[in-house]
Amino acid sequence: DTGVSQNPRHKITKRGQNVTFRCDPISEHNRLYWYRQTLGQGPEFLTYFQNEAQLEKSRLLSDRFSAERPKGSFSTLEIQRTEQGDSAMYLCASSLADRDRGLFGANVLTFGAGSRLTVL
């Protein structure tokens, strides 16, 4: 297994355009998370999936943001009508559920290298 894979690694777009990021988690992990990170800050939670079900969304996730995880494998994060404030690193992470690894399960996230978005 090659870990969590994200693409594209970098995306530069003009304000108002739509962008989509893809995340391929570790194959045996059933939980998948999206976080956003800006310079000098910690990762901010956006949403997470258990298998194909989206179980929680942050209020940071406006209606311009949508995430999917069809078939419980890869996930996509789409941002519509991008704004300059959307410029950030978008991190995907995956984990096992607690029952699969005791209490460590959902505390141990494996992150991808991220997709850096720049909105001009």
Partner 1 sequence: GQSLEQPSEVTAVEGAIVQINCTYQTSGFYGLSWYQQHDGGAPTFLSYNGLDGLEETGRFSSFLSRSDSYGYLLLQELQMKDSASYFCAVRDILTGGGNKLTFGTGTQLKVEL
Among 5, 13, 45, 66, which residue sits at the site for partner 1 (rule: CB under 8 A)?
A: 45
**Residues forming beta bridges with residue 44, ordered by sequence position:** 36
Does 5 help bind partner 1 (rule: CB under 8 A)?
A: no
- Please say which residue, 12 or 15, places its beta carbon nearer to partner 1: 12
Report the sign of the C-alpha dihedral through residues 85, 86, 91, 94, in that order. Answer: positive
Report the sign of the C-alpha dihedral through residues 67, 85, 13, 89, in that order. Answer: negative
Which stretch in 20-28, 29-37, 65-73, 78-86 sits in contact with partner 1 by CB under 8 A? 29-37
Three-state DSSP class for residue 42: coil
Name the residues that contact partner 1, by CB under 8 A.
4, 31, 33, 35, 40-45, 48, 50, 55-56, 91, 103-104, 106-114
